[in-house]
Structure 1
């Protein structure tokens, strides 16, 4: 289901950059993109004063949360502070209960945790405060090494840039790669440092650097996904032993070469389904799968739908 009305719930003494992230992604009118109704909400009434002393005039109160399809808490003043007031937490719980998607960016995860929306779920927050989140809310499965966690109706992200990744991911999963890429291009940020759908947790992929054999190998692999690529092939290209390559790869990406390759193949198939009229069988082979039958379960596992259904929603007209 799409979303158009977005409530950005801000608290006093929050960092300015994090507060601006969802407004930067959803607030600007862009050709070809949906027109989102972004409502800046003062959770505590009156102007919102940032940690730099800048006063922001938020024209909406907590009642705007009642009408939103998407509710975003961009951050929190400090995780050691006492939780937000009960009326703010109640508004978040009621929004979730009626079916709105609720998001916590960076330290906003602590607000969702205080509202009880993360009990029994995996969640992400800034790596520096991940141990504190785990100790304060032991029922939450804290993922300290990921950019964001998508649980479908509740999503959380890591630090400042992770909030951008998560907002672009929300656009991508709802409106497709093309719209998300257009927004990323206008913001001059990477369109897809991370991705996936409900229940999928992704890791950042390092950008290739001159003289960095691992980064150059990842770039080469992305250009050759239609080939038969194995971990031995990649380690040989990087001129490393298999053991050294595995260790370096996990340190850089937080995942294994096999998992990374599989995810990149599905992403490539996703783009081909959006931008070409190639039969699904050909899309599968161009993405490195032996057949459409081999592609289908991996595609469904990551995106929740079959390749054919995805094309019907996001493919070229």
Structure 2
């Protein structure tokens, strides 16, 4: 079965925000349709986007009872909650097992509906204080480009929606298909770092972030090496505590967490593109043993590396 994606229309919808999920999920790779996309509005109405483009809804909120993925790409007013009908439709879809996605300010309707309660989420950094005041029960992570927890995904502003949607493609179809789609869209298949690097801040901090991002690129090319906080801090001429603080500001993660994610990403790529053994891949990506690789992989993906290789391998 091809997964179904419901794109929610709302008043004053931004053309750019709407086009991101529509473009990603409507893509055809190797003559293969990846998702069935439906444009949804509460009353199956025609919606004017920015007073220039007219979009006709294909179905109403009843369709959310069947969709696998539901996307709200932004929101028109941070002060205005979604209608009770839309809130109930989102809640019921999530409770039955659908993935619910809020891109940029699209985190707001999910928060108003209570879906983000007790969960980690992100949104555009401009809304940090407003979001925290309105939804103190949500664990706001303003550093990340996108956040996923318990079938709920939220993204930072504007173009970060591309990263979020590509991550969903990776979940369903693996690294190889996601990378082909990224090349088709002429974007990086996976951006390192977090939203923190885009927040307005003094020039000196920007320079530190750039240095750290260069360091990340170097590490990613040499994942099998051993790294310590002390050696990395020395490499950037910082104290350990200063390096740790700036690394988290730049990436939204502790270094060890980032390193595990990077090694898992490279491991997925090798599982899909080679016939190497699990032991060899574990060694190439820097895990000390195949056991450690398997444990980290299963914690993240709920399946073993071998199962992933069988599912997505060439």
Say if 1:85 and 1:245 are closer, same or farther in 2 by CA, change over 3 A: closer
Say if 1:244 and 1:144 are closer, same or farther in 2 by CA, change over 3 A: closer
Instruction: Report the counterpart of residue 292 of structure 2 in structure 1.
Output: 294
Residues of 2 paired with 1:30 and 1:192: CA distance?
Answer: 18
Q: Which runs of 5+ in 1 are unaligned?
A: 195-201
Note the C-alpha offset of 1:203.
Answer: 3.8
Matched, 1:105 2:67: no
Residues of 2 paired with 1:3 and 1:214: CA distance?
Answer: 40
Matched, 1:8 2:7: yes
The structure with the largest helix share of the pair is: 2
Q: Residue deviations 1:204-251, cap 9 Å, x none? A: 697xx9xx6433322221111112233344344445554554344333
Note the C-alpha offset of 1:33.
Answer: 4.4
Note the C-alpha offset of 1:68.
Answer: 1.4
Matched, 1:189 2:152: no
Residues of 1 paired with 2:120 and 2:254: CA distance?
Answer: 20
Residues of 1 paired with 2:196 and 2:304: CA distance?
Answer: 26
RMSD across aligned positions (CA): 2.6
Say if 1:125 and 1:186 are closer, same or farther in 2 by CA, change over 3 A: same
Residues of 1 paired with 2:31 and 2:195: CA distance?
Answer: 28
Note the C-alpha offset of 1:22.
Answer: 0.7
Number of equivalenced pairs: 306
Match of 1:231 among 225, 229, 232: 229
Say if 1:90 and 1:70 are closer, same or farther in 2 by CA, change over 3 A: same
Provide the TM-score with structure 2 as the length reference.
0.87
Residues of 1 paired with 2:31 and 2:231: CA distance?
Answer: 41
Q: Residue deviations 1:78-110, cap 9 Å, x none? A: 212x21222222221222232221111111111
Aligned 8 A contact 1:221 1:234 in 2: no
Instruction: Report the counterpart of residue 115 of structure 1 in structure 2.
Output: 113
Secondary structure of the residue aligned to 2:308 is helix
Secondary structure of the residue aligned to 2:160 is helix
Secondary structure of the residue aligned to 1:145 is coil
Q: Residue deviations 1:11-45, cap 9 Å, x none? A: 01121111111101011323254432111112354
Instruction: Report the counterpart of residue 279 of structure 1 in structure 2.
Output: 277
Instruction: Report the counterpart of residue 130 of structure 1 in structure 2.
Output: 128
Question: Bigger shift: 179-188 or 151-160?
Answer: 151-160
Instruction: Report the counterpart of residue 91 of structure 2 in structure 1.
Output: 93
After TM superposition, the structure 1 = structure 2 runs for residues 153-172 of structure 1, keeping only pairs within 5 Å, are 153-172=151-170
Residues of 2 paired with 1:162 and 1:248: CA distance?
Answer: 21
Say if 1:126 and 1:173 are closer, same or farther in 2 by CA, change over 3 A: same
After TM superposition, the structure 1 = structure 2 runs for residues 241-280 of structure 1, keeping only pairs within 5 Å, are 241-280=239-278
Question: Bigger shift: 127-136 or 246-255?
Answer: 246-255
Note the C-alpha offset of 1:54.
Answer: 3.1
Question: Bigger shift: 41-50 or 159-168?
Answer: 41-50
Say if 1:246 and 1:97 are closer, same or farther in 2 by CA, change over 3 A: closer
Q: Residue deviations 1:45-65, cap 9 Å, x none? A: 422122354332233222322
Secondary structure of the residue aligned to 2:37 is strand
Residues of 2 paired with 1:89 and 1:163: CA distance?
Answer: 22
Residues of 2 paired with 1:101 and 1:244: CA distance?
Answer: 38
